[in-house]
């Protein structure tokens, strides 16, 4: 038995190294799940509110709103970048509402969605906006974003997407850097969005 181990010592070392490599790969592999909301709708009103003073507000009109749940199952934080929205007809980029896009002197205000209940009453829902169009998803946790997009009046469908630092298969042959990484996104048909029509997604 001892002679067998000695004669095959290099084989055992190679197998052990292979096992360590496999365990390291499995531990460092990106593991995640994400889901965009099942609808993208035109809200009654998106506002910035100074405390409880509903009159001291800034209103964002002509927008659509959806949300994202991202579950990071990895043992480490996962960065994301290039969070964007664009018109599918002409590929024109659309403005999005982030904390950073709010003017500096108004960033202390609370972003709210006002949901009309009656002519005299509206329910307030606090929005959880992304700080920037890039950031990170914490390890072993769920991140939630409200995503507010400002389409053009004639926009009929949009794509919302972001990229992860995970190279795509055959990424080495891609010349554009943004074609090298995994994209997570969703397509929405928002035809008639100004009529407050709820629209359904086509996940990518």
- The DSSP line for 12-66 is HHHHHHHHHHHHHHHHHS--EEEEE-S-BB--SEEEEEETTEEEEEEEE-S-EEE
Cβ–Cβ < 8 Å for 111, 126: yes
The three-class DSSP label of residue 91 is coil
- pLDDT value of residue 51: 67
For 6, 7, 8, 15, 61, the CA distances from 3, given in Å and listed in that order, are 5, 6, 8, 18, 81
Model confidence pLDDT, tens digit, residues 48-92: 887 666 555 678 889 999 999 999 999 899 999 999 999 999 999
Q: What is the distance of C-alpha 150 from the center of its chain?
A: 16
State how far the Cα of 122 lies from the Cα of 84, in Å rounded to an integer: 30
Tokens 């964002």 correspond to what residue? 60
Average pLDDT, the chain: 81
The three-class DSSP label of residue 193 is helix
Model confidence pLDDT, tens digit, residues 30-39: 899 999 999 9
> In DSSP terms, which residues pair with 80 in a beta bridge?
135
Query: What number is the average pLDDT over the span 170-180?
Result: 52
Model confidence pLDDT, tens digit, residues 121-133: 778 899 999 999 9
Residue predicted with more confidence, 67 or 106? 67
């Amino acid at each position: 038995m001892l002679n067998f181990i000695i004669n095959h010592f290099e084989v055992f070392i190679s197998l052990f190294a292979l096992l360590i490599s496999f365990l390291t790969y499995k531990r460092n592999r990106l593991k995640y799940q994400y889901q965009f909301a099942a609808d993208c709708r035109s809200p009654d009103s998106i506002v910035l509110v100074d405390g409880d003073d509903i009159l001291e507000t800034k209103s964002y009109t002509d927008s659509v709103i959806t949300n994202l749940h991202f579950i990071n199952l990895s043992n480490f934080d996962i960065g994301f970048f290039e969070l964007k929205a664009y018109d599918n007809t002409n590929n024109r980029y659309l403005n999005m509402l982030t904390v950073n896009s709010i003017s500096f002197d108004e960033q202390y205000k609370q972003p709210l969605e006002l949901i009309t209940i009656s002519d005299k009453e509206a329910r307030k829902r606090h929005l959880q906006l992304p700080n920037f169009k890039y950031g990170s998803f914490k390890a072993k946790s769920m991140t939630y974003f409200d995503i507010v997009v400002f389409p053009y009046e004639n926009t009929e469908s949009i794509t919302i997407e972001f990229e992860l630092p995970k190279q795509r298969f055959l990424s080495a042959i891609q010349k554009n850097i943004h074609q090298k990484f995994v994209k997570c996104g969703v397509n929405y048909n928002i035809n008639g969005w100004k009529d407050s029509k709820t629209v359904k997604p086509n996940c990518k």
